[in-house]
Structure 1
Amino acid sequence: MSKGRVTVIDIAHAAGVSKSTVSLVLQGSSLVNEATRAKVNVVIRELGYVYNRGAANLRQAKSKIVGIVVNDLTNSFFAELAVGVDMVVQSAGYVQFLSNTGESVDRQREVVASMREHGISGLIVSPARGTEAADFKPLTNAGIPVVIVVRNIPGAKVSSLVSDNFAGASAAVEHLAGLGHRRIAFMGGFANTAVFAERLGGYREALAKAEIAFDDDLVVATAPSRAGGVEAVGRAMLLAHKPTAAVCFNDAVAFGVCDGLRARRLEPGVDFAVVGFDDVIEAESAVPALTTISVDPQGMGRRAAQLLLKQVNSGKVEAEAIVSAVRLVVRQSSGAGLDTTARRAVS
């Protein structure tokens, strides 16, 4: 405990919570559950803390800071997205505060509260799983512009920038079907997310157009990570009727699928066709180079930053919804250069 004036840090330490949680309690935020609120208030009374609202308001004055919160910084897609954001905000005289939630809604609430304490001018966020529209209400009520990227949250009343997930997955299936594949799996991704639903929808429609029957066994939901890709291909190879190709939820999953194939002495692009989704920097230099749906992560970051700064500069929080186009980039991992004899070997 510090000597002299009691601080928010003292309260957080005594109550066993984070500084951001104490700040939310002091602000009367609805994001804190009643049990935690009661515990913090007991400590506040015991320590005799006095909330200096005037000083708090000064701290919350708008600064030249833009917050960016992502759900999985271990995925290089989000690192590239952040670089794109930084290109724009830096040239506009802003500093970027970057935070990773690791798919935790509680952590997301804490970091956003902390960013608000630093007086962010606006927020770009790829929401953690389980995020609800109500989570953005304190920001919109305070007039802080928000741009949601990658995952949309219906009813959030904030701007959104997402890729055309349906069209991308559809193009991937069309490409593989055109190469003669009939057992095409959909690998990776959390099944309870909108992005998964959209990409699965495109996958299913393209199968129907190619007159390929949908097989639920070929949809293998796992974490959208490299480890998830390894798991997905392992599960798929246990099927009685194994797939010969896969549309992967993202490039991270695709790299994992390639790892899992090699562990089984199968060569991606020769024995099994792999298509990713994102087109991260490593996709082109991977061996084999990854066929993927290009989303242009840096470009998405730049566009999100431009959308945010437009609202910051205008002083108006007017929600815009943008769906960015995607394109198929054909490289070696899908076996597009193989002759029909090689393709028959995996059919």
Structure 2
Amino acid sequence: MEDPAHPKRPVTVADVAKAAKVSKATAARVLGGYGVVSVQIKDQVMAAAAALEYRPNELARSMSTGRSGIIGVVVGDIENAFFSLAVRGISDAARLAGFNIIIANSGEQLDAERSAVDLLIGKRVDGLIVTPARCDRLDHLQHVRRAGVPLVLFDRAIPELDVDAVTGDDREAALTATRHLIGQGHRRLAYVSAMDAERGGLTDIALISNSAVRERVEGFVSALTEADLPNPLHSVRLGATDQHQTDAVMKRLLSEISPPTALLASDSLVGLRIFKSLQSLGLSIPQDVSMISFLDADWTSVTVPPITIVDQRVYELGKLAGERLVARIERTPLSVEHLRVTTSLVVRGSVATIGR
């Protein structure tokens, strides 16, 4: 039994070579997967490695081969089902190509994102997939490019950076969802987002630093404008960052002289918070308030009624981002692209028809 106070030292290539009765250089060639050796020698070395429970030194291997076999992924909020499902798609694409992934969570904080990127670059990852917390702060991402590390942006695009981005068709998705609400007779609508609220509310869409949020707000506002509904920016409500803040946002909204009859939630976490807020206020969906949420999260199909959602095809988004990064790592000749995955509206029971 191993003494915890004196743990067994790691097995080295030299140990494997000695057990296999070959030179250290020959064992290194077999274990590193390079060079030419006979089948018999290869079998001897692999059998010795298995018997000794040899584990390769990934850092040493990356220094000798120039590859770590690892992809770094920095997401905004792993608690959000959107990112969890996206990471699964990225991971599946990476694994098929022979890569593992390291995941870091920024919490949508720029400083945490910068630290995660620096850490992953230090780990010699072969490439990075990043969901930028802000699309107007590029210094750390420009550093990734200068370091020669392939980079793909996920869910948000920064055209000035000149790297691949994989996103949904956010503007079109919000436009379609809002038109559906208007088509069901709703004239008083609100878009509710977890984006931090600026003092005095939203006055200029162009100032939104998150490209996905900005495009969804653009789609929402465009639908209200084309329907000649008044003051569309007033209908965009920010600050639903947790349940307490969402409760406050909902109370302010519903206490207005002309409260909204329908809500569009910016993502599934916000949608669930809105659902809970309405429940706590004793309001029913869709009898009192109709709603649509982005993302086909599990909770949206088990509520009563089930929630109409924007299906973002998140697994496909993640898989496409992973495949794109692998292509960049393998130096496949490709032009820089902003790849958009189309969404669809799944109509369930959370939107009432009014005024007819």
TM bucket (normalised to shorter chain) is 0.7 to 0.9
- Secondary structure of the equivalent of 2:67? coil
Q: Which residue of 2 aligns with 1:171?
A: 176
> Among residues 221, 231, 234, which one is paired with 2:238 in the alignment?
221
CA distance in 2, matches of 1:68, 1:157: 19
Which residues in structure 2 correspond to 1:43-62 (within 5 Å)?
A: 58=63, 61-62=66-67
Residue 153 of structure 1 deviates from its aligned partner by: 2.2
Residue 281 of structure 1 deviates from its aligned partner by: 3.6
Which residues in structure 2 correspond to 1:291-310 (within 5 Å)?
A: 291-310=308-327
CA distance in 2, matches of 1:185, 1:169: 12
Which residues in structure 2 correspond to 1:224-239 (within 5 Å)?
A: 229-239=246-256
CA distance in 2, matches of 1:60, 1:79: 31
- Secondary structure of the equivalent of 2:68? coil
Q: 221-230 or 191-200, which moves further after superposition? A: 221-230
Residue 227 of structure 1 deviates from its aligned partner by: 5.3
Tell me if the contact between 2:135 and 2:211 (Cα under 8 Å) persists in the aligned partners: no
Residues 263/314 of structure 1: CA separation in 2 closer, same or farther (3 Å cut): same
**Sequence identity of aligned pairs in percent?**
27
Give structure 2 stretches of 5+ with no counterpart: 1-59, 196-207
Aligned partner letter, 2:345: L
Q: Which residue of 2 aligns with 1:263?
A: 280
Q: 72-81 or 202-211, which moves further after superposition? A: 202-211
Q: Which residue of 2 aligns with 1:204?
A: 221
Q: 287-296 or 309-318, which moves further after superposition? A: 309-318
1:277-308 Cα deviation digits (max 9, x unpaired): 12234322333322111111111101110111
Aligned length: 286
1:232-270 Cα deviation digits (max 9, x unpaired): 322211211100001111121111111111111111222
Q: Which residue of 1 aligns with 2:189?
A: 184
CA distance in 1, matches of 2:241, 2:173: 16
CA distance in 2, matches of 1:60, 1:222: 48
Aligned partner letter, 1:72: D
Give structure 1 stretches of 5+ with no counterpart: 1-54
- Secondary structure of the equivalent of 1:311? helix
Q: 187-196 or 297-306, which moves further after superposition? A: 187-196
Tell me if the contact between 1:69 and 1:101 (Cα under 8 Å) persists in the aligned partners: yes
1:327 aligns with 2:344: yes
Aligned partner letter, 1:181: H
Residues 321/278 of structure 1: CA separation in 2 closer, same or farther (3 Å cut): same
Residue 317 of structure 1 deviates from its aligned partner by: 8.0
- Secondary structure of the equivalent of 1:275? strand
Query: Over aligned residues, Cα RMSD in angstroms?
Result: 2.6
So what's the TM-score if we normalise by structure 1? 0.75
Aligned partner letter, 2:188: R
Residue 59 of structure 1 deviates from its aligned partner by: 8.8
Aligned partner letter, 2:301: E
Tell me if the contact between 1:233 and 1:257 (Cα under 8 Å) persists in the aligned partners: yes
Q: Which residue of 1 aligns with 2:87?
A: 82
Tell me if the contact between 1:147 and 1:308 (Cα under 8 Å) persists in the aligned partners: yes
Tell me if the contact between 1:188 and 1:220 (Cα under 8 Å) persists in the aligned partners: yes
Q: Which residue of 1 aligns with 2:164?
A: 159
Q: Which has the larger radius of gyration?
A: 2
